[in-house]
Structure 1
């Protein structure tokens, strides 16, 4: 995602959230995608150099857009006692959206951090500009809910990890 929209700002926001979660002794779970276009072990597959999991933090390997499909993410979250997800990352219009839906369908509350997800410019394929994709996803997810589960959107600075404890 070296050409992602607002890459530096998004990485800074994600870094702040990771630090705050760790300081609150809450689990940080990493998700790494691979497929025919993003080969496992390649440079693009690596977790961005500006971030690094600490020993003991789970890394879930996935090959579908939804991080729950074909992975052990549910087992990892269950072992950690997690019921509410704070979602960040890339690619907004693919993996982020799919994982948000996967979470709420499986019974998790799922909050999207509005300034901590990004995508690449894919206008050449007919997609809207990255800024519009992000804005629309934030709008779309802001009112998401299902019986007994809530979606929602908040800015990085408003994420209250005190509400995320087990």
Structure 2
């Protein structure tokens, strides 16, 4: 259904699961375990796994906080896209990566739900990709002191919000990790 012509492949996009991002994340271990299982399934299906890594003054390149969480390990042949904005497409070569890999459909997982995950989902949809959020494979931190709902509320709201997302010729949606099919 994607409007990306001749891009029949599906990719798993893993957003910002870095030490400094997930150090205090809600359901951290459960989400990392779920994402790790998705990565293994994608690899078995020979679906591309594309890693997104954020860098800024709090996540300095080369620092421990900037590194992808130890529970996850990008394979040597998997692309890591470095970004500075919430939307992983902005100021990066992510579109060129997907073009080279023939990708038109994305399964998206990672952190933080209400920041980079949501921004990247929107960025993908407006650029013509089908962008499916893996509902049990994203997380955020507790920002209740800032007037934001608790992390589970943020996750639930984002899953609800994205569940029927669509645009002409492309769609969003939410799927549970057990139902993801990379074929």
State if a TM-score over 0.5 links the two structures: yes
When the two chains are superposed, the root-mean-square deviation of aligned CA atoms in Å is: 0.7
Task: Report the Cα offset of residue 122 of structure 1.
Answer: 1.1
Q: Runs of 5+ in structure 1 lacking a partner?
A: none
CA distance in 2, matches of 1:101, 1:117: 15
Using the size of structure 2 for normalisation, the TM-score is 0.87
Deviation digits for residues 94-123 of structure 1 (CA, Å, limit 9, x no counterpart): 000000000000000000000000001111
Q: Please give the alpha-carbon distance, in whole angstroms, between the structure 2 residues aligned to 1:42 and 1:94.
A: 21
Match of 1:61 among 51, 74, 82: 82
**Match of residue 39 from structure 1:** 60
TM-score by length of 1: 0.96
SS in 1 for 2:65: helix
Cα distance in 1 between the residues matched to 2:80 and 2:48? 11
* Distance (Å, rounded) in 1 between the aligned partners of 2:157 and 2:115: 13
Q: Which residue pairs with 1:154 in the alignment? A: 175
Structure 1: how far apart are the matches of 2:65 and 2:59?
A: 7
Counterpart secondary structure, 1:83: strand
- Give the superposition deviation at 1:36: 2.0
2:147 pairs with 1:133: no
- Greater strand share, structure number: 2
Alignment of 1:1-166 (within 5 A): 1-162=22-183
CA distance in 1, matches of 2:64, 2:143: 21
Q: How far, CA to CA, are the matches of 2:138 and 2:80 in structure 1?
A: 18
The number of aligned residues is 162
Tell me, in whole angstroms, the C-alpha distance in 2 between the residues paired with 1:43 and 1:123.
27
Name the stretch that deviates more: 96-105 or 30-39. 30-39
What do the CA deviations read for 1:87-146 (whole angstroms, capped 9, x no partner)?
Answer: 000000000000000000000000000000000111122211111000000000000000
Q: Normalized per residue, which structure has more helix?
A: 1
